[in-house]
Amino acid sequence: MRSFLRGLLAAVAMVLPAAAAAQGAGGAKQAAHGKTEVTWWGHAAFLIRTPGGTVLAVDPWLSNPKSPDKELAGKLDKVDWILVTHGHFDHVGDAVAIARKTGAKLISSFDLGKALVAEGFPKEQAGFDSQGNVGGEIQAGDATVFIVPAVHSSDVAGDAGARPGGTPVGFVIRIAGGPTLYHTGDTDVFGDMRLIPERYGAVDLMLACIGGHFTMDPKGAALAAGYVQAKAVVPMHYGTFAVLPGTPKELEAALKGRSRVVNLEPGKPATF
């Protein structure tokens, strides 16, 4: 846990002004006292550290255009689990490099796991214990990860051409002594999102794509937040490219106060 924090803080200090580094240190201090630390690195990439010290990397394209540290993947000392929602490059991202460096296990659909192993993900870190499919539940330290549907596509474009990446998914992440998060993956809003709070309990923090074009837009995301009864929404998957025009402001307007919008700045940890 400490080495991860050191790496994270060093990375933050390198690229952000002193004020940002100080905020990171404050976040780390709180996390040590039972808080969950969530850092958005731009696009759909998140690093999550649980109160028990488990580190999850979700859709870890840490070198995306909005990331303040394009070299972060090579600096991470501790990642326990890598969660990948589907096979597109902007979600697989630096998963293989992180896995090789940290020994982290892959949580994904079984089909995507097969495709990523073919693309160089260490096979022994993508076994039956961490691979699943929609409806499945994976224990990841003090976090329980539920694999839930998403409406999208999932080819893996590798060196040898496109490989089928199975069905795209989202993740509900229930953290012991902490919040329940819902990372939507790439998806449009769909009616069965209503089942998520019924099946997995209240969603404290919804990490929701809002860019439009390839996924739901802010209006769709606001509808989705209502379906899952999200207490708070972190907008993501917007602004990385010109074709992802949705904005947090539009999300806020569409939500009309029904859920709180939490705007995270890439690279700055927030605690929940």
- Smallest separation (angstroms) from Zn ion to the CB of 186: 4
Locate 272 and state its tokens: 């929940």
- Number of neighbouring beta carbons within 10 Å of residue 26: 12
- Smallest separation (angstroms) from Zn ion to the CB of 82: 16
Residues 6+ apart with CB under 8 A from 195: none
The residue count of the chain comes to 272
- Smallest separation (angstroms) from Zn ion to the CB of 182: 16
Whole-angstrom Cα distance, residue 207 to residue 237?
9
By the 8 A CB rule, do 108 and 167 touch?
no
37, 80, 90, 217: which one binds Zn ion (CB under 5 A)? 90
Q: Give the binding range for Zn ion (CB under 5 A) out of 104-112, 117-125, 178-186, 223-231.
A: 178-186
Q: Does 69 bind Zn ion (CB under 5 A)?
A: no
By the 8 A CB rule, do 4 and 24 touch?
no
Pick 5 or 107: Cβ nearer Zn ion: 107
Q: Give the binding range for Zn ion (CB under 5 A) out of 88-96, 138-146, 188-196, 259-267.
A: 88-96
Q: Does 59 bind Zn ion (CB under 5 A)?
A: no
**Helix or strand (DSSP H, E) at 260:** strand 260-261
- Smallest separation (angstroms) from Zn ion to the CB of 87: 10
Q: Which residues contact Zn ion by CB under 5 A? A: 90, 186
